[in-house]
Amino acid sequence: MQIRVLGCSGSIAAGSRTTSFLVGEQVLIDAGTGVGDLTLDELARIDHIFITHSHLDHVLSIGLLADCVTRRREADRRPPVLVHALPATIAAMKMHIFNGVIWPDFTRLPTVESPVLAFRPIEVGDIVKAAGHTIEALSAAHTVPALGYAVHGRQGAWVFTGDTGPNAALWKRLETLPVRALVIEAAFGDEEQELASISRHLCPATLGAELAQLRSRDADVYITHIKPGEVEAVMSQVAALGARHRIAALSTGLVLSLPD
């Protein structure tokens, strides 16, 4: 199982792309600006998109991907790309993006009978088989309804918390899960701890309390969603935590390999 980091930044700037991960060749987890680095052939192979929540930095490439692969999928008689998300997230995308004003409704194009996109509602705890991968929806605690995801492998799981503040429900599930790699956010530095709390994100101080609940001592921990230009400052605060796990800043282009 290979997971390619297409984007992991908290915002955009030259060299910074927002959240998206490519699992194998056919599955995306989130669809931020990093999706735009895929070739047309790579985009055309995507059959599933798992969305954590409705914020723009995580969903903005869904419609663009649909637009660029419609003709290929139609010519090849391929089924729609399945977009898996919470019902509330699907409702938000239908109302605010795929509404014919911001973007065409690709759940009805090129035809109602054979659209290029189809939404599939999921809930916390659901397990979906997608292109040979086993993907579990995890709890997340954010300002809008949100999920994290675990991609299960033979010797453990790759876990992405999504955007989240402190979240006891997540750690209760992870107690029983052999975590091989954990991608968790630290969207702000400690000097912005109040803002992090209001916006339901983590900063190094609150991250430390969360990581103390991670029982898998062999898990590699990767920090994501840091704003452009702030990686060094935030990671110096993370290093000062003295956590017992191996911790590094996630970087675009990194490929993580785990046994299937």
**pLDDT bracket for residue 1 (50, 70, 90):** confident
- Say if residue 221 is exposed, middle or buried (CB neighbours under 10 Å; 0-12, 13-18, 19+): buried
Q: Residue 248 corresponds to which amino acid?
A: A
Mean model confidence pLDDT for the chain = 96
| pLDDT digits 0-9 by tens, 31-70 | 999 999 999 999 999 999 999 999 999 999 999 999 999 9
Give the number of residues written for the chain: 260
| pLDDT digits 0-9 by tens, 214-235 | 988 889 999 999 999 999 999 9
3-state secondary structure 164-181: CCCCHHHHHHHCCCCEEE
Where helices occur in 76-203 by DSSP H, the ranges are 87-96, 168-174, 193-198
pLDDT at res. 126: 98
- Say if residue 144 is exposed, middle or buried (CB neighbours under 10 Å; 0-12, 13-18, 19+): middle
Q: Is the pTM of this model over 0.95?
A: yes
Q: Which domains does the chain have, with CATH numbers?
A: 2-257 (3.60.15.10)
pLDDT at res. 260: 75
Under 8 Å CB-to-CB from 139, ≥6 apart: which residues? 124, 147, 148, 167, 169, 170, 173
